[in-house]
Homo-oligomer: A and B are copies of this chain.
Amino acid sequence: MSTRRAPTLEDVAARAGVSRATVSRVVNADPRVRATAREAVSRAVTELGYRPNRAARALVKRAPDSVAVVVPETDQRVFSDPVIMEMLRGISEGLEETPLQMVLVLGRAGRDTDRLERWLRGGHTDGAIVLSAHLDDGVTSALSEIGLPTVMIGRPPGPEQGLPFVDLDNVDGGRQATDRLVARGCRRIGTVAGPVDMAASRDRLAGWRESLDAAGLADDAVEHGDFSSEGGRLAMRRLLAAHRDLDGVFVASDLMAAAAVSELQAAGRAVPGDVAVVGYDDSPAAQLTVPRLTTVANPGDRMAREATVMLRELLAGRPVSSRVLPTHLVEGGTA
């Protein structure tokens, strides 16, 4: 019906009997406006239902006003979603005090690379934060080529594109987990590792290996899972079949670990009595098992927060370098 033009600064100014500039000052909380004028203006604002036009504002102050948060569409089954939500929250909190809006860009990894790339080139945002480097190189290389200020969350697999990243110390996480197994007396320690194409998986595996090497134990009991529950179950089954003397397992994700625990129990092994288990992520899934999983913290929100700090640096024109944050073991009953 009424396609009445939205009220502008001018309208408010007219109504309040002041100039556009004064209204602008009031709206932007500039202190040097007389109280009476201020009141007149705010009254006019509410009466007219004035809302500043973001585009016009953005046009004149060329301050960055939005960042793209690129989320590779995780395969449904990967179930890494809780971590993603955690990261989104972290970013949201990190951006809370800034005028930056977070623009979500989802894409099915692989399939949508082109569309994503085109969008990113479109200059819709002033920067980007890329979640989880599971993404094809297409997007990350496009990003570094475009020159859009970008921070990756999670170290990218493959050669580094020169893009700064934040990551958690997965090597140390794997080591701590395995150290715990060693410390409680396990002598035959296997691992259910993650997919080989992910940096986090490789790092955790490397940590496991380092710990075993340091303890002088064998490091040949390795099976890979896909971070899904079912994948974890199957990997555990293979591991158990290949190494019947297993007395400890480091599983690279809680979801897989939960499945591994139930698989072990189904096979008649008491956890942690016969086989001790340490998971990874400290996710809600860690609390599903009985007893509750011993796991490694993997605070996605901290990483995300750090990423926002780094991105703000980049937007301010200052260079940043990648950061690796520390992790720690979370006590549970399985190791």
Q: Which residues of A contact B (CB under 8 A)?
A: 1, 3, 49, 51-56, 58-59, 65-66, 69, 73-74, 76-77, 79, 81-82, 84-85, 88-89, 92-93, 96, 101-106, 115, 121-124, 147, 228-230, 258-259, 262, 266, 284, 287-288, 290, 317
Copies of this chain, complex-wide, total 2
Contact B123 A53 (CB under 8 A): yes
Q: Is the CB of B69 within 8 A of A104?
A: yes
How far is it, in angstroms, between the C-alpha of A259 and the C-alpha of B289 when the chains are bound? 9
In contact, B73 and A89 (Cβ under 8 angstroms)? yes
Q: Are A54 and B123 in contact (CB under 8 A)?
A: yes
B54–A284 contact, CB under 8 A?
no
Q: Contact at A101–B124, with CB atoms within 8 Å?
A: yes
Collect the chain B residues with CB atoms within 8 Å of residue A96's CB. 115
- 7 A-B pairs with CB atoms under 8 Å apart are A53-B59, A74-B85, A77-B284, A79-B82, A79-B284, A228-B284, A259-B288
Nearest B-chain residue to A115, judged by Cβ: B96
- Are A92 and B106 CB-contacts (below 8 A) given A85-B81, A284-B79? yes
Q: B59 contacts A56, CB within 8 Å?
A: yes
Q: Which of B74, B84, B88, B262 contacts A106 (CB 8 A)?
A: B88
13 more A-B residue pairs beyond the given contacts A66-B101, A104-B104, with a C-beta to C-beta distance below 8 A:
A3-B317, A49-B147, A51-B121, A54-B55, A58-B58, A59-B59, A74-B85, A82-B82, A101-B124, A102-B104, A229-B284, A258-B288, A259-B288
Nearest-CB residue, chain B, relative to A82: B81
